[in-house]
């Protein structure tokens, strides 16, 4: 099976080979969970040390092998020849460039392959016979790892771009690698044997379809790319004329998981099960014998839906083909708690819809008899809180002896613990009394879950009153996934209340989104469940712009009022002159000034007399013109008068 890796974000989900007893899933929280397909229970759970910073990008089961699981009874002679092989090793590629090898038989990490890749590991593939592992990375390199030594055996550059998929042939002699170009490598010489081009996007699926050698012109392999609704089948020809694909399988969306039963001869058909991005399963069956011009449609398409009045589709996660032709092992639902089922499908029908009632509860029940989960031994005693499976809340100060409690001893109730608890200060003194249990920050998660289940307002108020960022982050990180949605609903209700309480609730909301964003993103109906919170945030964001404008206007008004009040407080300026200078005038200047004034008055009177005389003369001239005789007598008389006047003056 091809490694499930690629440039697009994909959650790995793979069935174990041959018996298909286990299902390995890497969910959004970065944890590896192995489910038992027979008992439908969680078999093992492993949390990598860097599951948040270096998330798992791809997983691949190793070939089945005999495993020693500790001391066993001596076998009889009839049982000595029969050795059972089980799926044991599981390779996990991480975004940090390391490869983790997990042992399902031991329930622990087998080894870590590091110091090889500088980029994220996109695909891992096992050698079918030897203890070798091949990994392709974003740094364009392929590394061949030796699991016996835990070191890189060889390393070479595969392409100019990132290596997105790998596949080893059934005989272990050829290796397929893909970026935008598919290359076939000879594993002995590490040289390119053939090159195939035809995909416009990154190739995410590679798988050999036949087990025949390449010299017989009967070696086929198929490939699928991102954003491509076709699976292409390529033929490895001896003459090298294999530039184009020979067969194409049509899909409804890009392929995500491919399971294939190879063909061992020309008379045997290839069986193919493809799970697409839209959650549908397509089944194909075809005889590979040369090219086919038309694309082949699936022989049967399987869909899942719930049993509600308005049925909604249930996405299929992965599928595996069984030995029986009509039997298919399905995994559907969500990655945190998938549902596994073996289904008999009538392939004569083109479309099959299966209705199932999927429970949405996320309580993880671990099978205690076969569980390999190991918990570290601590010096502090642990108390299991009701309603929280597997949650440990350490309590200090209690005696660790093996003595039984006396009947007369009284247990401390939750109310008394809340009364004695100080949320702001945690006692760290060594001399604390041993009789009283002092609660730590780890107990906040227990109290918070109890308050959410019982809807106790006083208990929730005690927990929500803390303002320490570290306490809030630790409390939210220790919450089980089933309590995340009730916590968000409680935070939403409190955000609608008093603004002072909303300030505290914003810190809790921030911590929940930072710690459980991957889980929230996996919920299909998250928008409907948190619609009130979404609309409230949207309305407050819309009002923020208006409030900022109002704040600016009020600030301008307040500054103007302040400046007007300060101007009135300033005292008025005294406009009276501090010094006046006057020139003193003499008596002579006054006398000369008076004489000048008198002369001016006499001149005005003389001018008036002259003007009147001028006017009388003009009038007389007019009359003379009219009466010339009169003018002559007047002239004679005037002359006589002038002589008289002159004599008088003399």
Higher pLDDT, 99 or 86: 99
Name the domain boundary from 297, 332, 356: 356
Cα(170)–Cα(300) distance, integer angstroms = 28
Say if CB 147 and CB 138 are below 8 A apart.
no
* Residue 582 falls inside a structural domain: no
**Are 325 and 456 within one domain?**
no
pLDDT attached to residue 435: 40
**Are 327 and 463 within one domain?**
no
Asked if pLDDT for residue 372 goes beyond 50, the answer is no
Percentages (nearest 5) of helix, strand, coil residues in the chain: 30, 25, 45
Of 360-364, 467-471, 502-506, where does mean pLDDT reach its minimum? 360-364
DSSP letter at 206? E
**Are 199 and 316 within one domain?**
yes
Phi, psi for 208 (deg, rounded to 5): -75, 130
CATH number at residue 200: 2.130.10.10
* Residue 465 falls inside a structural domain: yes
Number of domains in the chain: 2
pLDDT attached to residue 231: 92
Asked if pLDDT for residue 247 goes beyond 60, the answer is yes
DSSP letter at 585? P
pLDDT attached to residue 8: 41
What are the E-state strand segments in 147-228? 151-157, 165-168, 174-178, 182-186, 191-196, 203-208, 219-225
CA distances 411 to 407, 415, 417, 582, Å, are 10, 11, 10, 108
The DSSP result for 312-362, as a single string, is -EE-EEEEEE-SSTTEEEEEEE-SSSEEEEEEE--TTSSEEEEE-------
pLDDT attached to residue 101: 92
* Residue 19 falls inside a structural domain: yes
Cα(330)–Cα(248) distance, integer angstroms = 24
**Are 37 and 146 within one domain?**
yes
Cα(10)–Cα(28) distance, integer angstroms = 10
Handedness of CA 183, 184, 187, 189 (dihedral sign): negative
Asked if pLDDT for residue 569 goes beyond 80, the answer is no
pLDDT attached to residue 434: 41
Q: What is the mean pLDDT of residues 310-316?
A: 88
* Residue 553 falls inside a structural domain: no
Using alpha carbons, select from 320, 366, 365, 369 the residue that is nearest to residue 345.
320
Q: What is the mean pLDDT of residues 54-60?
A: 87
Q: What is the mean pLDDT of residues 253-279?
A: 90
55's tokens: 């998330």
Handedness of CA 605, 607, 610, 614 (dihedral sign): negative
Using alpha carbons, select from 456, 487, 494 the residue that is nearest to residue 472.
487
**Are 206 and 305 within one domain?**
yes
Angle at 75 between CA 69 and CA 79, to 5 degrees: 105
Q: Which helix (H) or strand (E) holds 186?
A: strand 182-186
Q: What is the pLDDT of residues 587-610, one digit of tens each?
A: 555 555 554 444 454 555 555 555
Asked if pLDDT for residue 250 goes beyond 90, the answer is yes
Asked if pLDDT for residue 264 goes beyond 90, the answer is no
DSSP letter at 221? E
Name the domain boundary from 356, 384, 404: 356
- Alpha carbon 479 to chain centroid, angstroms: 20
Cα(539)–Cα(537) distance, integer angstroms = 6
Q: What is the pLDDT of residues 385-421, one digit of tens each?
A: 444 444 444 434 434 444 444 444 455 666 666 666 5
Using alpha carbons, select from 292, 346, 336 the residue that is nearest to residue 520.
336
pLDDT attached to residue 227: 86
Using alpha carbons, select from 380, 392, 397 the residue that is nearest to residue 436.
397
- The DSSP bridge pattern shows strands 151-157 and 255-261 to be unpaired
Q: What is the pTM of this model?
A: 0.55
Asked if pLDDT for residue 243 goes beyond 80, the answer is no
Q: Token match 């630790």: residue?
A: 474
Band (163; pLDDT cuts 50, 70, 90): very high
Say if CB 254 and CB 226 are below 8 A apart.
yes
Say if CB 249 and CB 274 are below 8 A apart.
yes
Q: Which helix (H) or strand (E) holds 462?
A: helix 457-464
**Are 453 and 338 within one domain?**
no
**Are 230 and 338 within one domain?**
yes
Which residue segment(s) compose the domain that 341 sits in? Answer: 13-66+86-356
**Are 341 and 457 within one domain?**
no
Higher pLDDT, 172 or 586: 172
Q: Which helix (H) or strand (E) holds 303?
A: strand 300-305
Of 160-174, 263-277, 395-409, 596-610, where does mean pLDDT reach its minimum? 395-409
* Residue 40 falls inside a structural domain: yes
CB atoms under 10 Å from CB of 125, counted, come to 26
Asked if pLDDT for residue 9 goes beyond 60, the answer is no
Say if CB 246 and CB 291 are below 8 A apart.
yes
pLDDT attached to residue 4: 41
Give residues with Cβ within 8 angstroms of 394, minimum separation 6: 378, 380, 381, 382, 383, 440, 442
Q: What is the pLDDT of residues 225-239, one digit of tens each?
A: 988 889 999 998 877
Question: With pLDDT > 90 as the criterion, what percentage of the chain qualifies?
Answer: 22
Say if CB 185 and CB 166 are below 8 A apart.
no
- Alpha carbon 282 to chain centroid, angstroms: 31
* Residue 507 falls inside a structural domain: yes
pLDDT attached to residue 609: 57
Higher pLDDT, 630 or 328: 328
* Residue 572 falls inside a structural domain: no
Say if CB 94 and CB 119 are below 8 A apart.
no
Say if CB 88 and CB 63 are below 8 A apart.
no
**Are 161 and 274 within one domain?**
yes
Band (639; pLDDT cuts 50, 70, 90): low
Name the domain boundary from 504, 539, 574: 539
pLDDT attached to residue 419: 61
Q: What is the pLDDT of residues 99-139, one digit of tens each?
A: 999 998 888 888 899 888 998 999 999 999 888 999 999 99
The partner residues of 313 in beta bridges, in order of sequence, read: 305
Q: What is the pLDDT of residues 439-478, one digit of tens each?
A: 444 577 888 888 888 888 888 888 888 888 888 888 888 8
Say if CB 15 and CB 22 are below 8 A apart.
yes
DSSP letter at 253? S
Of 109-113, 484-488, 545-549, 563-567, where does mean pLDDT reach its minimum? 563-567
**Are 455 and 333 within one domain?**
no
* Residue 72 falls inside a structural domain: no
Cα(352)–Cα(328) distance, integer angstroms = 13
**Are 181 and 325 within one domain?**
yes
Using alpha carbons, select from 46, 105, 21, 107 the residue that is nearest to residue 372.
107
15's tokens: 């069935």
pLDDT attached to residue 303: 92
Band (493; pLDDT cuts 50, 70, 90): confident
Say if CB 182 and CB 176 are below 8 A apart.
yes
**Are 470 and 335 within one domain?**
no
Say if CB 504 and CB 465 are below 8 A apart.
yes
């Amino acid at each position: 099976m091809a490694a499930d890796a690629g440039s697009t974000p994909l959650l790995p989900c793979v069935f174990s080979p041959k018996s298909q007893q286990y299902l390995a899933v890497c969910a959004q929280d970065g944890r590896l969970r192995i489910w038992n397909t027979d008992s439908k229970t969680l078999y093992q759970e492993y949390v990598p040390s860097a599951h948040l910073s270096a998330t798992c990008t791809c997983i691949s089961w190793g070939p089945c092998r005999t495993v020693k699981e500790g001391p066993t009874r001596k076998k009889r002679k009839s049982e000595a020849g029969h050795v059972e092989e089980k799926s044991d090793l599981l390779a996990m590629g991480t975004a940090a460039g390391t490869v983790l090898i997990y042992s399902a038989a031991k329930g622990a990490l087998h080894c870590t392959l590091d110091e090889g890749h500088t980029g994220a590991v996109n695909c891992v593939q096992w050698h079918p016979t030897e203890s070798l592992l091949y990994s392709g990375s974003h740094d364009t390199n392929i590394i061949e790892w030796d699991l016996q030594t835990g070191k890189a055996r060889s390393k070479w550059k595969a392409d100019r771009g990132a290596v997105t998929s790998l596949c080893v042939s059934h005989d272990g002699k050829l290796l397929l690698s893909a970026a935008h170009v598919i290359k076939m490598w000879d594993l002995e010489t590490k040289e390119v044997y053939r090159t195939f081009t035809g995909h416009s996007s990154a190739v995410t699926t590679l798988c050999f379809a036949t087990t025949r050698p390449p010299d017989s012109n009967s070696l086929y392999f198929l490939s699928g790319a991102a954003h491509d609704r076709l699976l292409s089948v390529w033929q490895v020809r001896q003459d090298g004329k294999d530039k184009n694909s020979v067969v194409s399988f049509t899909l409804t969306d890009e392929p995500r998981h491919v399971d294939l039963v190879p063909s061992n001869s020309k008379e045997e058909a290839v069986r193919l099960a493809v799970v697409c991005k839209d959650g549908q399963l397509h089944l194909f069956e075809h005889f590979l014998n040369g090219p086919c011009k038309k694309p082949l449609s699936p022989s049967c398409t399987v869909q899942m839906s719930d049993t509600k009045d308005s049925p909604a589709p249930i996405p299929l996660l992965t599928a595996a083909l069984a030995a029986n032709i009509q039997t298919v092992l399905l995994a559907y639902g969500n990655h945190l708690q998938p549902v596994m089922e073996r289904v008999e499908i009538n392939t004569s029908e083109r479309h099959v819809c299966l209705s199932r009632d999927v429970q949405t509860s996320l309580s993880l029940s671990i099978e205690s008899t076969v569980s390999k989960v190991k918990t570290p031994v601590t010096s502090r005693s642990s108390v299991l809180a009701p309603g929280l499976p597997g949650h440990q809340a350490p309590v200090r100060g209690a005696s660790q002896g093996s003595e039984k409690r006396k009947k007369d001893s009284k247990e401390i109730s939750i109310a008394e613990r809340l009364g004695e608890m100080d949320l702001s200060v945690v006692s760290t003194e060594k001399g604390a009394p041993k009789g009283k249990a002092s609660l730590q920050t780890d107990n906040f998660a227990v109290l918070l879950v109890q308050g959410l289940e019982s809807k106790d307002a006083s208990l929730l108020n005690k927990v929500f009153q803390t303002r320490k960022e570290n306490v809030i982050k630790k409390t939210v990180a220790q919450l089980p996934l089933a309590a995340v949605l009730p916590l968000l609903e409680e935070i939403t209700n409190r955000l609608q209340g008093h603004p002072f309480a909303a300030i505290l609730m914003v810190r809790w909301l921030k911590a929940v989104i930072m710690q459980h964003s991957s889980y929230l993103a996996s919920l299909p109906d998250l928008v409907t469940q948190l619609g009130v919170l979404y609309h409230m945030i949207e309305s407050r964001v819309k009002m923020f712009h208006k409030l900022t404008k109002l704040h600016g206007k009020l600030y301008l008004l307040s500054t103007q009022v302040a400046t007007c009040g300060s101007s009135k407080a300033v005292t008025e300026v005294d406009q009276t002159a501090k010094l006046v200078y006057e020139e003193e005038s003499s008596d002579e200047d006054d006398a000369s000034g008076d004489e000048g004034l008198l002369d001016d008055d006499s001149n005005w009177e003389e001018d008036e007399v002259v003007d009147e005389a001028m006017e009388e003369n003009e009038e007389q001239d007019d009359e003379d013109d009219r009466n010339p005789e009169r003018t002559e007598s007047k002239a004679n008389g005037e002359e006589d008068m002038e002589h008289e006047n002159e004599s008088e003056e003399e």
